[in-house]
């Protein structure tokens, strides 16, 4: 028997309804902030990702050649594709651009809980706004989106300038190595690397920076940073908006194109793989031949959010099992259309079952049974039965629709 590919999942209807319910909450918050959805191809030129992240990322991706010999990759994330689309399609569009997306991505690595080879991201990209207000609004949006899902999380906000100021006298390759240690929270490796350079002083400063949660102390450790005023304004805006967060100056983000403010979100019940959100300010368009436009964005790991939430109970949606005799079938088709036009999920028998078997099936799948026999067909009324209370009565169609809709959203 054929099985699904390793690292992928099948979603049955109950789980899909739960996922869609959470997805729609994210979409609604993004909409209220003015973000509009975009969509990019599931595969792109391999160079789009290696140009940004280096050749080493190839081992972590699904890479292939098409029949024309072009090297392509299934997208491991979507930010690069969105910026490519901006350069191709929207360079002259009025700024800022508020774009969002919900899509699947792919990575080739060992699957584990909350980390699959096919996974979904809800992301946001704010393109063309280079201000403290833009930085703050992006974090506010991320916070509101996570709040809307109901997930329990901790939001951490930092700025790369503190760390960059401390390591600015190191060779560029060593700066990247230090940043990689911090990004992976590999503090033993960080200390070993700096001890090999006889820079225990720098190790001590970076350790102090990582451990502090106080902005004034961070300035004392790292010295004056170029974006001091902007970061202070961002923090003031977050405080004014009531965003719950903690400062964390150990957030490094492993990629060179991140430029300033950075933030991450962590669920409280996922163990080691608990990051559900990551983002910050970045400049990427110039790497792809576009203008050097400032951008800010984030991506939510949708699958980890769902794992953290656990079993999601679908909203109570009324379901009608339409039960009919052969004499009532023509009338039942009219009734079914009226119910569906009213937004009510309605299922009719397709198996040629008898009346009793239809009622038994409806009891397993529906909240109400509406019975149409010869009597109902001739009178124009319907018999409606609440399958939870067993209450049954004969009413006109409008009354039946009103009763079903009163049970829950149609």
**What is the CATH number assigned to the segment(s) 319-407?**
3.40.50.800
Number of Cβ atoms within 10 Å of the Cβ of 14 = 12
pLDDT in single tens digits along all 410 residues of the chain: 999 999 999 999 999 999 999 999 999 999 999 999 999 999 999 999 998 777 778 999 999 999 999 999 999 999 999 999 999 999 999 999 999 999 999 999 888 766 799 999 999 999 999 999 999 999 999 999 999 999 999 999 999 999 889 988 888 888 888 888 888 888 888 888 888 888 888 888 998 998 999 999 999 999 888 899 999 999 999 999 999 999 999 898 766 678 899 999 999 888 888 999 999 999 999 989 999 999 999 999 999 999 999 877 666 789 999 999 999 999 999 999 999 999 999 999 999 999 999 999 999 999 999 999 999 999 999 999 999 999 999 999 999 999 999 986 54
d(CA 272, CA 275): 8
- Are 308 and 298 in contact, with CB atoms under 8 Å apart? no
With the C-alpha atoms ordered 285, 43, 29, 92, is the resulting torsion angle positive or negative? positive
Query: Order of strands, edge to edge, in the sheet holding 319-324?
Result: 345-348, 319-324, 368-372, 381-386, 392-396
Q: Please, what is the angle between helix 187-196 and helix 172-183, to 10°?
A: 160
List Cα–Cα distances, 65 to 43, 73, 74, 203, in angstroms.
11, 8, 11, 45
d(CA 165, CA 225): 7
Q: Which tokens hold the place of 196?
A: 């090999």
d(CA 138, CA 370): 49
Q: Which tokens hold the place of 63?
A: 């890479």
User: DSSP 3-state helix, strand, coil percentages of the chain (rounded to 5)?
Assistant: 45, 25, 35
Q: What is the pLDDT of residue 203?
A: 86
d(CA 227, CA 231): 6
Q: What is the pLDDT of residue 314?
A: 65
Please give the DSSP secondary-structure letter assigned to residue 197.
T
Number of Cβ atoms within 10 Å of the Cβ of 191 = 17
What would the DSSP string read from start to end of 129-191? --SHHHHHHHHHHHHHHHHHHT--EEEEEEEHHHHHHHHTTS-HHHHHHHHHHHHTT-HHHHH
Q: Which tokens hold the place of 379?
A: 């009178």
What would the DSSP string read from start to end of 59-111? GGS-EEE-TT--EEEE-S-SHHHHHHHHHHH-TTSPSSEEEEEEEEEE--S--
- Beta strand 345-348 with 319-324: parallel, antiparallel or unpaired? parallel
- The backbone torsions φ and ψ at residue 3, rounded to the nearest 5 degrees and listed phi first, read -115, 160
Q: Which tokens hold the place of 330?
A: 């023509």
pTM score, whole prediction = 0.89
Strand partners, 321: 347, 369
d(CA 295, CA 311): 36
**What is the CATH number assigned to the segment(s) 13-309?**
3.30.930.10
Ranges of CATH 3.30.930.10 domains, the chain: 13-309
- The backbone torsions φ and ψ at residue 310, rounded to the nearest 5 degrees and listed phi first, read 75, -155
Query: Order of strands, edge to edge, in the sheet holding 71-74?
Result: 43-45, 71-74, 63-65
Ranges of CATH 3.40.50.800 domains, the chain: 319-407
- Are 385 and 338 in contact, with CB atoms under 8 Å apart? no
With the C-alpha atoms ordered 15, 17, 20, 22, is the resulting torsion angle positive or negative? negative
d(CA 379, CA 400): 14
d(CA 292, CA 130): 11
- Are 263 and 139 in contact, with CB atoms under 8 Å apart? yes
- Are 96 and 129 in contact, with CB atoms under 8 Å apart? yes
CA-nearest of 97, 118, 96, 91 to 38 is 97
Strand partners, 393: 384
């Amino acid at each position: 028997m054929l099985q699904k590919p390793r690292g992928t999942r099948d979603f049955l209807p109950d789980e899909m309804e739960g996922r869609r319910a959470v997805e729609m909450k994210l979409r609604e918050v993004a909409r209220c902030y003015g973000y509009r959805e975009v969509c990019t191809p599931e595969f792109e030129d391999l160079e789009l990702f290696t140009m940004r992240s280096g050749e080493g990322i190839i081992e972590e991706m699904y890479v292939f050649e098409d029949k024309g010999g072009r090297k392509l990759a299934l997208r491991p994330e979507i930010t690069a594709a969105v910026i490519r689309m901006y350069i191709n399609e929207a360079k002259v569009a009025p700024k800022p651009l508020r774009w969002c997306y919900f899509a699947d991505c792919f990575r080739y690595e060992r699957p584990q809980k909350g980390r699959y080879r096919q996974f979904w991201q809800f992301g946001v990209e704010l393109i063309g706004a280079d201000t403290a207000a833009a930085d703050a609004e992006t974090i506010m949006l991320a916070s509101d989106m996570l709040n809307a899902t109901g997930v329990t999380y901790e939001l951490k906000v930092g700025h790369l300038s503190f760390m960059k100021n401390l390591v600015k006298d190191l060779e560029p390759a060593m700066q990247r190595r230090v940043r990689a240690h911090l990004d992976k929270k590999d503090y033993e490796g960080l200390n070993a690397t700096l001890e090999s350079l006889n820079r225990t002083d720098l190790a001590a400063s970076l350790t102090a920076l990582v451990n502090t949660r106080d902005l004034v102390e961070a300035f004392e450790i790292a010295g004056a940073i170029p974006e001091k005023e902007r970061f202070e304004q961002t923090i003031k805006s977050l405080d004014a908006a009531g965003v719950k967060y903690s400062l964390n100056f150990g957030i490094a983000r492993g990629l060179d194109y991140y430029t300033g403010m950075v933030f991450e979100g962590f669920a409280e019940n996922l163990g080691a793989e608990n990051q559900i959100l990551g983002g910050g300010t970045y400049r990427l368009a110039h790497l792809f031949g576009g203008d050097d436009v400032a951008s800010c964005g984030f991506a939510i790991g949708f699958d980890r959010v769902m794992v953290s939430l656990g079993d999601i109970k679908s909203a109570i949606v009324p379901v009608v099992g339409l039960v009919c005799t052969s004499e009532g079938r023509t009338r039942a088709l009219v009734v079914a259309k009226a119910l569906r036009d009213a937004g009510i999920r309605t299922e009719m028998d397709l198996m040629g079952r008898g009346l009793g078997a239809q009622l038994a099936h409806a009891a397993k799948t529906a909240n109400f049974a509406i019975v149409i026999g010869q009597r109902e067909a001739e009178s124009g009324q319907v018999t409606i039965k609440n399958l939870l209370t067993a209450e049954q009565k004969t009413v006109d169609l409008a009354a039946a629709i009103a009763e079903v809709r009163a049970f829950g959203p149609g």
